[in-house]
Structure 1
Amino acid sequence: MYQKKCYVFDQKTPRMAIIRNYTPSDFSSLIRVQQAAFPPPFPSELWWSEEQLHEHVTRFPEGALCAEIDGTICGSITGLRVKTDDYPHTWSEITSDGFITNHTNSGQTLYIVDICVSPSYRKLGIGKLLMSSMYEVVVQLKLDRLLGGGRIPHYHRYHHELSPEQYLDGIQSGRISDPVITFLMRCGRTPVGIVADYIEDEESLHHAVLMEWKNPFLAT
């Protein structure tokens, strides 16, 4: 099981953060974090349910991590192992609607189901810390890579003039800053391609960017 203690900084003030596996006693806190992190127009039916969280900690507890500061859960990241390289796919297909019932211990790809941080904690670097912790899970389990779809929530501002591919090119060239894709690039992940109709998301016009991180000990 996973537990890590390290400092994050609230401006100049260090605060101790704990990254650990979440358990059933954390479920209500995790749901509150999701509600705060993904307000409308994000679909409320995509917030975690206790049934989904139960599947996460039962099927693949190594991929169920949360961040805690001063006893308060302020973020989480969830993954599953898959062996399919089917592309394109939807979030619903690859995660079994968030229940991860298709998780397989023989899968060499750790697929990110979700990452979220409470808005009041977002300037502390919690998201990047959660992502790096999941990289450590990839290395510990000797998996090939981490993969997942990232929303492009600013795309609705550009869609009249740019295709999704052009929007992604703008992010990679530095002409456009996107709160999700730019963040994931700063975490070390690399764009693989655009997926249409990935998830119900009006801001992204239902598009996502597949983002990859390869295990540096196994990468060729």
Structure 2
Amino acid sequence: MLTDVDLVSVTPVEERYLVRQTESVDIPGIIELCTHVYPESVAWSAEQLESHRSIFPEGQLVVIERETGKLVGFAASLVIKRDDYDWGEPWRIFTDNGYFTNHDETGRTLYGAEVMVHPDYQGTGVGSELYRSREEVARTLNMVRIRAGARLRGYHHNHKTFTPEDYVKAVEKKKVWDPTLSFQLNRGFKVVQVVPNYLRSDSESMGFAAIIEWTNPYATVVT
């Protein structure tokens, strides 16, 4: 329970939500969350989610609404070596088909495989808390960077006007708003490249994603 002393330094978002590492008890809630966020896609399986926890527990996060105990957000990450990958490859390559068995603790790149926020809670600070917590994981583990694929959720509305590359440039210039990429750019991420077939079954992005990167300003050289 929060005390009066705690409340002095706690933001309204932190007062409402708890961010913590994923536990086994959270798995049914994560799977249910998937059905709300990605109703057209196959949800994460319990086997995949347990694999994440057993391989890299520090990178698996959930957001719980304190008052109700409801799981309203989820993030999953793993560590890789940047130069081991062709960054034009699809999501399944970076995640070993969603199991994270390619996690490499000697790497310096935290790969953001997933961030989900319940539709009823979007815009209330859940996403920001997940990204802030993921950045803290990167700092704690002395990662050089965070990389992820930002699916271009608004592209299906704009594909007749823009190529994927021009769409991303328009979002970067704030001429077009994209529900995913605009948020991430506001968090300090930069676009590295635009790739096709990142998530082939995603109708909103038509399979396109922007590979994005956040640089850890506190990273130190490992000797």
Instruction: Give the alignment's TM-score, normalised by structure 1.
Output: 0.90
Shift of 1:219: 8.2
Paired residues for 1:99-118 under 5 Å? 99-118=99-118
Tell me the equivalent position of 2:60: 64
Tell me the equivalent position of 2:3: none
Tell me the equivalent position of 2:81: 83
Tell me the equivalent position of 2:4: none
Please point out which of 41, 46, 53 is paired with 2:49: 53
Paired residues for 1:1-220 under 5 Å? 6-9=10-13, 15-40=15-40, 43=41, 45=42, 47-70=43-66, 71-85=69-83, 86=85, 87-200=87-200, 201-218=202-219
Once the two structures are superposed, residues 117-171 of structure 1 have per-residue CA deviations (whole angstroms, 9 ceiling, x without a partner) of 1111112111011001100000000011000001111111221221111000100
Shift of 1:39: 2.1
Q: Which stretches of structure 1, 4 residues or more, deviate above 4 A after TM superposition?
A: none
Contact 1:81 1:109 in 2 (8 A): yes
Shift of 1:15: 4.3
Amino acid paired to 1:167: Y
Shift of 1:50: 0.2
Instruction: Give the alignment's TM-score, normalised by structure 2.
Output: 0.88
Once the two structures are superposed, residues 85-120 of structure 1 have per-residue CA deviations (whole angstroms, 9 ceiling, x without a partner) of 322111000001111010011111000110001111
Shift of 1:84: 3.5
The percentage of aligned residue pairs carrying the same residue is: 31
Which has the larger strand fraction?
Answer: 1
Amino acid paired to 2:100: I
Q: Structure 2: which 5+ residue stretches go unaligned?
A: 1-6
Q: 1:7 to 1:112 in 2, by over 3 A?
A: same
Contact 2:142 2:220 in 1 (8 A): no
Once the two structures are superposed, residues 53-105 of structure 1 have per-residue CA deviations (whole angstroms, 9 ceiling, x without a partner) of 00010000000011011221110111000013322111000001111010011
What's the RMSD between the two structures over aligned residues? 1.7
Counterpart-to-counterpart distance in 1, 2:135 and 2:178: 22
